[in-house]
């Protein structure tokens, strides 16, 4: 008996859905239960990833109508290359993170019950799978809400801390506002998709009434004739709704709050793959459901992507909290993905399917890459958090000596996310640049002028991200321990190391073998734009990636990797030869004599130059306080420095909204007197007035 | 019985219903209110039976019997028991400004006639002229709920309002379908039981049946 990819995907969803109540009932108190639960989650995720990969590789489309759903509104499922690709991304990272969770959650289980964590973890992954597999608006929204609710409870896992409750609430609010926008967007499309069926003829107009309603399926939306006005409304609503989930600036406020406070395995999933479901939604609505769109949609996506990328990178640079830094960097990476998406939309609207597929490949590749390295980095941050109990980088330092495995693996993640060869971040950012550089092919003068500026901003983003991760790695792992508590740190358990090593290996593989990966995922742009790039991209074999033409640009991950290995080996050998002549001594202290670890570069001091240059972007509050000595004021005994960097969007955009809603609530609250008779008077007067109007 | 006579009787009973409604608006004693309510129910039931006879709608007889049993006997009995149990028999409610309430009530009657005038011209039913009275009864019931502070009087106001609705149904369309009427009767009966239970709870919690006390439930400022 053989299974189609769709069957396998359905089985993996079923495994995850069953695991949630099973974990809740079994209590999962013992370490063995934790291991079993996460093993099952890993197997289920891997199955989903395999199913998705199969669907992408074969380029086939499988669909099914489920027996569940509302009466006469059954759920539809579909696995095509686009959903297959995202299944792979979600499944692969969930697989790795599930392995990581075995060790991580066991450590948590020592001091608090983890049943909730396991149950919602499984439900969360199931929700993401279902979002991707859904082929009608109803199933999509139900899954979307399952995903949002499960992740809400995961953010709230350590609910005794007020910041966690605050972050979870903020997340819930933004998620709901976004979900309403998505609902309205599908409503627009479904409404239009329903009309032609009823308009076939007066006699045959909607003969079975409600039971024949099929407008809510994506298939009906695909075949609907959407007028440009309504299509724009649907797109703007969808972009807003999915943007809220993806953390596009200015809808990002929840992201740097919610991602850091969740348990680290959950942060890895939220940052690594949950944001991608929003990207999936944008791609699904624009390229698959609406299909024909004006170029300014793409320009809007591109500009929002650029803004998110630059501001995300700047704020990442400023953070002192390791996980917050990673969260802001997610905003940046979503921006980069949107840049690729926007370019693809622009090219597609100008009827250049080949260029559109190149940009799309860049965006999708970055989705996959970001899932891998952000997952790796969050897992690394989780290991650090677990080992030291700290998230503040200024209290760490020197961890490379204590965490001999985590440190190099974290470094791999840092190098990848900074977009350096031979790792994967380079490939996707390079492809995005290629897509930028092909813009002269566009027949619109304004865009031709504007797009190079976008490329410059992307370059700036890459540099800023690099600086942010030099800081993240340097302050956390290098130097000396800044606080005594760090000295007791230990490396993480075996499963955690294994998971991180797996993610790091994938980062390397995706960077070294890009043409193989692109060859695999070429069916996705084939489906969405009707064109593929594998013909040119892999024209020179698996070694060389030539997205357009070999005389234009080419990159060989494998060759780069070999050269880097060679140089490293030579340097290492040279150092070996000189090893005898290296003398170890105390650090030269410039004659000061009282060097302490606290005098090292801190995260704030490292970021200071960039903070000064881009000071217009932040709300910075700096405070220096001198504590004078008793003898004379000129000689301070202590200097205290405090800095607070705030997000201006909060002050300028969200505070007014919050204040206005509180004001409106107070106004409405004045109606509520608490006296039954007043309420009766309201009804009475309403009835009289309505009757008067009716008369 | 000829139609003119039937219309006369119908109008006369409508007038009596309205009089009891006004009576309830000004009655201070709980017992007096219950008796007035029972009388209103009796007039209603009589009216229903006559309309049923004139219009040849025999299911109205069943409605009439239902009204008689529930609104004239069962509900007043339940209210009696409640009043006895809760020991509020001799309570005299301070009704604010009776003349003004009466004036509002009269204004409501005029308003109802004004409102139903187009219906009166279009309808061909014998009972068409009483629709205004029915509407006025509904509004006076609501007005009674607004002006009274005692929980029991509020319930009586609510039941009077329901009487008005029933009357409106009879005079506008010769009654609702029997199934609906049965359902409504059952609803009213069950509502009365629930009210009774709530009265005991409210009495226990606030040591009073004054609904204004419930303002204390409001969230603090």
pLDDT-derived band of residue A559, with 50, 70 and 90 as boundaries? confident
CA gyration radius for chain B?
A: 18
Whether B164 is in a domain gets the answer: yes
* Domain region containing B152: 3-214
Give residue A551's pLDDT: 66
C-alpha neighbours within 13 Å on the C-beta side of residue A144:
30
User: Which residues of chain A neighbour B168 with C-beta distances below 8 Å?
Assistant: none
Give residue A565's pLDDT: 92
> A578, A295 in Cβ contact below 8 A?
no
pLDDT tens-place string over residues A259-283: 999 999 999 999 999 999 999 999 9
A633 reaches B (C-beta below 8 A)? no
pLDDT-derived band of residue B92, with 50, 70 and 90 as boundaries? low
pLDDT for residue A201 is more than 60: no
Name the burial class of residue B210, with classes exposed (0-12), middle (13-18) and buried (19+) by CB atoms within 10 angstroms of its CB. middle
A674 and B214 in contact by Cβ < 8 A?
yes
Residue with tokens 């490949």: A361
Whether B63 is in a domain gets the answer: yes
Give CA A690 to chain center in angstroms.
Answer: 51
| CB environment A261-287: b (16+ within 10 A), e (fewer) | bbbbbbbbbbbbbbbbbbbbbbbbbbb
Q: What are phi and psi of A321, to 5 degrees?
A: -95, 125
pLDDT for residue A240 is more than 90: yes
Contacts 24+ apart (CB under 8 A), A517-523: A517/A365, A517/A368, A518/A361, A518/A365, A518/A545, A520/A53, A520/A56, A520/A57, A521/A56, A521/A81, A521/A85, A521/A361, A521/A364, A521/A365, A522/A357, A522/A361, A523/A56, A523/A57, A523/A58, A523/A59, A523/A81
- Residues 63-122 of chain A whose Cβ lies under 8 A from any Cβ of chain B: none
pLDDT for residue A550 is more than 50: yes
Whether B219 is in a domain gets the answer: no
pLDDT tens-place string over residues A17-36: 998 888 888 765 678 888 88
A675, A683, A695: residue with CB nearest B115: A695
DSSP assigned state of A68: E
Percent of chain A exceeding pLDDT 70 equals 95
pLDDT for residue A202 is more than 60: no
Give residue A483's pLDDT: 83
A680 and B145 in contact by Cβ < 8 A?
yes
Query: In this structure, are strands A73-79 and A636-646 parallel, antiparallel, or unpaired?
Result: unpaired
> A432, A336 in Cβ contact below 8 A?
yes
User: Which residues of chain A neighbour B214 with C-beta distances below 8 Å?
Assistant: 674-676
From A670, which residue of chain B is nearest by alpha-carbon distance? B221
Whether B174 is in a domain gets the answer: yes
Least confident of A63-72, A311-320, A473-482: A63-72
- Residues 640-679 of chain A whose Cβ lies under 8 A from any Cβ of chain B: 672-677
pLDDT-derived band of residue B221, with 50, 70 and 90 as boundaries? very low
Closest-CA residue to A682 (of A691, A692, A672):
A672
Between A619 and A610, the higher pLDDT residue: A610
From B149, which residue of chain A is nearest by alpha-carbon distance? A677
Sign of CA dihedral A196, A199, A204, A207: positive
Sign of CA dihedral A402, A405, A411, A414: negative
pLDDT tens-place string over residues A156-195: 998 888 989 999 999 999 999 999 999 999 999 988 887 6
User: Which residues of chain B neighbour A695 with C-beta distances below 8 Å?
Assistant: 114-115
Q: What's the rounded Cα separation, in Å, for the pair A542 and A538?
A: 6
**What length is written for chain B?**
221
B145 and A681 in contact by Cβ < 8 A?
no
A453 reaches B (C-beta below 8 A)? no
Give residue A513's pLDDT: 87
SS3 A650: helix
Between B5 and A206, the higher pLDDT residue: B5
B111, B146, B215: residue with CB nearest A674: B215
- Tell me the average pLDDT across B164-179: 82
pLDDT tens-place string over residues A116-127: 899 999 999 999
pLDDT for residue A468 is more than 50: yes
pLDDT tens-place string over residues A34-69: 888 899 999 999 999 999 999 999 888 888 888 887
From A677, which residue of chain B is nearest by alpha-carbon distance? B146
Least confident of A498-502, A622-626, B75-79: A622-626
SS3 A124: helix
A672, A676, A683: residue with CB nearest B214: A676
pLDDT-derived band of residue A207, with 50, 70 and 90 as boundaries? very low
- Tell me the average pLDDT across A237-263: 91
pLDDT-derived band of residue A208, with 50, 70 and 90 as boundaries? very low
Interface with A, mutate which of B114, B135, B142 (most A CBs under 10 A): B142
B149 and A672 in contact by Cβ < 8 A?
no
Give residue A27's pLDDT: 64
pLDDT tens-place string over residues B33-57: 899 999 999 999 998 898 888 888 8
Between B91 and B16, the higher pLDDT residue: B16
From B220, which residue of chain A is nearest by alpha-carbon distance? A674
Whether B221 is in a domain gets the answer: no
- Tell me the average pLDDT across A308-333: 93
Give residue A198's pLDDT: 46
Least confident of A396-405, A666-675, B134-143: A666-675
Number of domains in chain B: 1
> A451, A344 in Cβ contact below 8 A?
no
Give residue B186's pLDDT: 83
Extract the tokens encoding B76: 């007043």
| Segments making up each domain of chain A, as ranges | 5-195+212-559, 650-694
Percent of chain B exceeding pLDDT 90 equals 17
B146, B212, B214: residue with CB nearest A680: B146
Whether B47 is in a domain gets the answer: yes
Give residue A498's pLDDT: 93
Q: What does pLDDT average to over chain A?
A: 87
Size of interface A-B (CB pairs under 8 A): 39
Give residue A322's pLDDT: 92
Least Cα separation, residue A677 to chain B (angstroms): 5
B145, B147, B215: residue with CB nearest A675: B215
Q: What are phi and psi of A62, to 5 degrees?
A: -120, 140
Extract the tokens encoding A513: 């073998």
Contacts of B218 (CB under 8 A, 6+ apart): A672, A673, A674
- Tell me the average pLDDT across A657-682: 86
């Amino acid at each position: 008996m053989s299974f189609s990819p769709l069957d396998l995907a359905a089985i993996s969803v079923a495994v995850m859905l069953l695991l949630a109540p099973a974990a809740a009932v079994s209590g999962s108190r013992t370490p063995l239960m934790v291991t079993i639960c996460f093993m099952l989650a890993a197997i289920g995720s891997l199955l989903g990833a395999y199913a998705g990969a199969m669907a992408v590789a074969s380029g086939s489309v499988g669909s099914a109508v489920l027996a569940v759903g509302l009466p006469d509104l059954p759920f539809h499922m579909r696995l095509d290359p686009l959903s297959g690709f995202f299944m792979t991304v979600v499944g692969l990272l969930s697989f790795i993170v599930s392995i990581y969770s075995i060790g991580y959650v066991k450590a948590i289980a020592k001091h608090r019950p983890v049943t909730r964590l396991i149950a919602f973890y499984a439900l969360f992954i199931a929700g993401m799978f279902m979002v991707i597999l859904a082929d009608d608006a109803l199933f999509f929204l139900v899954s979307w809400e399952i995903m949002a609710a499960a992740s809400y409870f995961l953010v709230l896992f350590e609910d005794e801390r007020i910041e966690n409750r605050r972050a979870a609430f903020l997340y819930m609010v933004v998620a709901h506002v976004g979900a309403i926008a998505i609902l309205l967007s599908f409503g627009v499309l479904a409404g239009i998709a329903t009309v032609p069926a009823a308009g076939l003829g007066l006699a045959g107009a909607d003969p079975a009434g409600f039971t024949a309603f099929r407008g809510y399926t994506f298939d009906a939306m695909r075949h609907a004739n959407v007028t440009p006005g309504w299509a724009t409304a649907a797109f703007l609503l969808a972009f807003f709704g999915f943007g809220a989930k993806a953390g596009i600036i200015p809808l990002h406020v929840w992201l740097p709050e919610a991602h850091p406070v969740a348990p680290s395995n959950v942060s890895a999933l939220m940052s690594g793959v949950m944001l991608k479901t929003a990207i999936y939604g944008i791609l699904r609505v624009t390229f698959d459901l609406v299909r024909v769109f004006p170029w300014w949609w793409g320009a809007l996506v591109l500009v929002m992507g650029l803004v998110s990328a630059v501001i995300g990178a700047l704020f990442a640079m400023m953070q002192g909290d390791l996980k917050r830094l990673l969260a802001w960097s997610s905003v940046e990476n979503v921006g980069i993905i949107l840049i690729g998406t926007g370019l693809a939309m622009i090219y597609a609207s100008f009827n250049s399917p080949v260029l559109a597929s190149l940009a799309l490949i860049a965006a999708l590749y970055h989705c996959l890459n970001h899932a891998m390295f952000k997952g790796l980095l969050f897992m690394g941050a989780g290991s650090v958090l677990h080992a030291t109990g700290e998230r503040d980088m200024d209290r760490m330092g020197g961890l490379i000596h204590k965490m001999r495995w985590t440190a190099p693996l974290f470094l791999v993640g840092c190098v990848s996310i900074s977009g350096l060869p031979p790792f994967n971040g380079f490939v996707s950012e390079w492809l995005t640049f290629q897509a930028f550089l092909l813009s002269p092919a566009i027949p619109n003068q304004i865009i031709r002028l504007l797009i190079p500026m976008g490329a410059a901003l992307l370059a700036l983003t890459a540099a800023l991200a690099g600086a942010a991760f030099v800081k993240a790695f340097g302050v956390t792992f290098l130097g000396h321990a800044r606080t005594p508590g760090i000295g007791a740190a230990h490396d993480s358990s075996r499963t955690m190391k294994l998971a991180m090593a797996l993610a790091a290996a994938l980062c390397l593989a995706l960077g070294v073998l890009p043409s193989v990966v692109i060859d695999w995922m070429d069916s996705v742009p084939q489906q969405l734009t009707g064109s593929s790039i594998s013909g040119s991209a892999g024209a020179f074999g698996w070694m060389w990636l030539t997205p357009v033409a070999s005389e234009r640009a080419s990159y060989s991950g494998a060759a780069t990797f070999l050269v880097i290995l060679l140089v490293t080996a030579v340097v290492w050998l040279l150092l070996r030869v000189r090893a005898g002549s290296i003398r170890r001594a105390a650090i030269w202290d410039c004659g000061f004599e009282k060097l302490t670890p606290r005098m090292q570069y801190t995260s704030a001091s490292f970021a200071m130059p960039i903070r000064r240059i881009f000071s217009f972007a932040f709300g910075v509050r700096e405070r220096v306080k001198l504590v004078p000595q008793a003898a004379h004021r000129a000689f301070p005994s202590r200097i205290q420095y405090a800095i607070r960097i705030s997000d201006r969007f909060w002050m300028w955009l969200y505070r007014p909204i919050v204040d206005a809603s509180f004001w409106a609530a107070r106004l409405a609250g004045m109606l509520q007197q608490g006296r039954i008779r007043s309420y009766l008077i309201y009804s009475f007067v309403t009835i009289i007035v309505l009757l008067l109007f009716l008369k | 019985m000829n139609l003119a006579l039937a219309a006369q009787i119908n109008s006369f009973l409508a007038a009596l219903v309205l009089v009891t409604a006004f009576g309830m608006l000004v009655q201070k004693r709980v017992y007096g209110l219950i008796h007035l309510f029972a009388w209103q129910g009796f007039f209603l039931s009589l009216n229903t039976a006559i309309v049923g006879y004139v219009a040849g709608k025999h299911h109205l007889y069943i409605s009439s019997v239902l009204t008689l049993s529930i609104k004239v006997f069962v509900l007043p009995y339940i209210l009696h028991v409640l009043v006895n149990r809760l020991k509020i028999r001799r309570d005299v409610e301070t009704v604010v400004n009776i003349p003004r309430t009466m004036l509002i009530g009269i204004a409501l009657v005029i308003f109802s006639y004004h409102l139903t005038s187009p219906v009166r011209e279009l309808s061909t039913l014998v009972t068409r002229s009483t629709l205004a009275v029915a509407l006025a009864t509904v509004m006076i019931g609501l007005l009674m709920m607004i002006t009274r502070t005692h929980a029991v009087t509020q319930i009586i106001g609510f039941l009077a309002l329901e009487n008005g609705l029933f009357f409106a149904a009879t005079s506008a369309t010769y009654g609702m379908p029997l199934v609906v009427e049965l359902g409504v009767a059952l609803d009213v009966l069950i509502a009365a039981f629930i009210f009774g239970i709530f009265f005991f709870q409210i009495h226990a919690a606030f040591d009073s049946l004054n609904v204004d006390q419930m303002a204390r439930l409001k969230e603090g400022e």
